[in-house]
Amino acid sequence: MNPLLGQFINLLGAVLLLLAFAMISQRRIVSLIHLYTMQGATLVLATAVVGYVTDQPHLYLSAALTLGLKVVLIPVLLHRVIDRLEVRWDTETLINIPTTMLVGILLVIFAFNLSLPISRFSGSVARGTLGIAMACVLLSFMMMIVRSKAVPQVIGFLALENGLFFAATAATYGMPMVVELGIALDVLIGVLILGVFMFQIRERFDSLDIRHLERLKED
């Protein structure tokens, strides 16, 4: 295998990680969608490169599926949702941005230390990608926790799935196509359901702050 291609895959993983960091510090929802789209495009390129390096034709289909779903369809749906809900900013977070970034750095260190024993025995094209993927998953999970608005939490969920998909692609050369199609369908249905859910929150409470859902316990 060309070592430059392995380094290029690691570089794409680093881009995914930087985009995840940018997402946890971004309060403008439109910018969050743009960052998610860039993450999807990076994932498409990484999947295609892994497919070329490992001579796995099904990864080209995975890249095409990711392109259509995560770079085109889901961002369009998210833009339509925020246009109808007229939301642009998520200014209320549970912790401030500097603290969020500090916790994010600690999560990245934890992810790399956790994946190090596994990476040593890995025969994949880019051993360091497992730690990067785990870090992306943890950062996305943290974004879901610290955000109070429903839309950023949905984007965090989608970014978390990106991290899992990158781990499956780089570490195991992808999942069976039937599994990938099933996951893609589940993600799409999940986005549609969460969109309806957000409209219901807005109609009931005139806000997308999920903390208002605590009122239901009192009703």
The CA-based dihedral angle spanning residues 211, 213, 215, 217, taken in that order and rounded to the nearest 10 degrees: -120
Q: What is the pTM of this model?
A: 0.80
The predicted-structure confidence for 71-93, as pLDDT tens digits, reads as follows: 988 888 888 878 877 776 665 66
How far is Cα 79 from Cα 163, in angstroms, rounded to an integer?
A: 22
- Residues ≥6 apart with Cβ < 8 Å to 119: 127, 128, 130, 131
C-alpha to C-alpha distances, 57 to 51, 60, 82, 177, 178, nearest whole angstrom: 6, 6, 37, 11, 14
DSSP letters of 90-149? Answer: ---BSS-HHHHHHHHHHHHHHHHHHHHHHHHT--SS-TTHHHHHHHHHHHHHHHHHHB-B
Ramachandran assignment for 75, one of left (phi > 0), alpha (psi -120 to 50 degrees), beta (any other): alpha
- Strongest mean pLDDT among 101-110, 145-154, 199-208: 101-110
| Confidence class for position 172, pLDDT limits 50, 70, 90 | low
| Confidence class for position 216, pLDDT limits 50, 70, 90 | very low
pLDDT value, residue 60: 86
Residue 106 confidence (pLDDT) above 90:
yes
| Confidence class for position 39, pLDDT limits 50, 70, 90 | very high
Give, to the nearest 10 degrees, the angle between helix 177-205 and helix 58-66: 10
Q: Please, what is the Cα angle at 61 between 132 and 56, to 5 degrees?
A: 70
Residue 136 confidence (pLDDT) above 70:
yes
